[in-house]
Amino acid sequence: MGELNQETTAGSGRRKRRFDPLRRERLIEVTLEVIAQNGLAGTSSRKVADAADVSLGSITYYFESLHQLIEEAFVRLSSTISDEFTKMLTGAPTREEAITAVVDIIDQKIWGTPRTLTLSFEFYAFISRNPHLNSLPQRWMKQSRRALEQHFSPTTARAIDAVIEGVGIHNHFDHEPMTRSDIERVIRLVATAD
Q: What is the pLDDT of residues 39-52, one digit of tens each?
A: 999 999 999 999 99
Query: Is 71 domain-assigned?
Result: no
| Same domain assignment for residues 82 and 117 | yes
| Same domain assignment for residues 99 and 176 | yes
Query: Is 112 domain-assigned?
Result: yes
| Same domain assignment for residues 3 and 27 | yes
| Same domain assignment for residues 112 and 191 | yes
Question: Domain count of the chain?
Answer: 2
Residue at a domain's end among 63, 90, 106: 63
The answer to whether residue 15 scores a pLDDT higher than 80 is no
Where does 97-166 show beta strands of DSSP type E? none
| Same domain assignment for residues 97 and 141 | yes
CATH of the domain at 46: 1.10.10.60
What does the pLDDT average to over 84-104?
94
For residue 10, give its domain range. 1-63
Query: Is 72 domain-assigned?
Result: no
* Greater pLDDT, 81 or 16: 81
* Greater pLDDT, 79 or 103: 103
| Same domain assignment for residues 43 and 105 | no
- CA distances to 21, 57, 92 from 112, in Å: 32, 35, 20
Query: Is 68 domain-assigned?
Result: no
Residue at a domain's end among 37, 63, 89: 63
pLDDT for the residue 86: 92
What does the pLDDT average to over 9-16?
44
* Greater pLDDT, 20 or 98: 98
pLDDT for the residue 11: 45
The answer to whether residue 8 scores a pLDDT higher than 60 is no
Residue pLDDT, tens place only, 110-166: 777 889 899 999 999 999 998 888 888 888 889 999 999 999 999 999 999 999 999
Query: Is 70 domain-assigned?
Result: no
* Greater pLDDT, 79 or 97: 97
Strand partners, 4: 17
Residue 115: partners with Cβ closer than 8 Å, 6 or more residues away: 36
CA 124 to chain centre: 12
| Same domain assignment for residues 12 and 108 | no
Residue at a domain's end among 34, 63, 92: 63
Residues 121 and 64: beta-carbon distance below 8 Å = no
The answer to whether residue 177 scores a pLDDT higher than 80 is yes
| Same domain assignment for residues 88 and 162 | yes
| Same domain assignment for residues 86 and 42 | no
| Same domain assignment for residues 32 and 95 | no
CATH of the domain at 92: 1.10.357.10
| Same domain assignment for residues 34 and 129 | no
Where does the chain show beta strands of DSSP type E? 4-8, 15-17
| Same domain assignment for residues 54 and 29 | yes
Q: What is the pTM of this model?
A: 0.80
Going by C-alpha positions, the residue among 128, 34, 28 that lies closest to residue 68 is 28
Report residue 18's pLDDT band, with 50, 70 and 90 as the boundaries. low
* Greater pLDDT, 97 or 6: 97
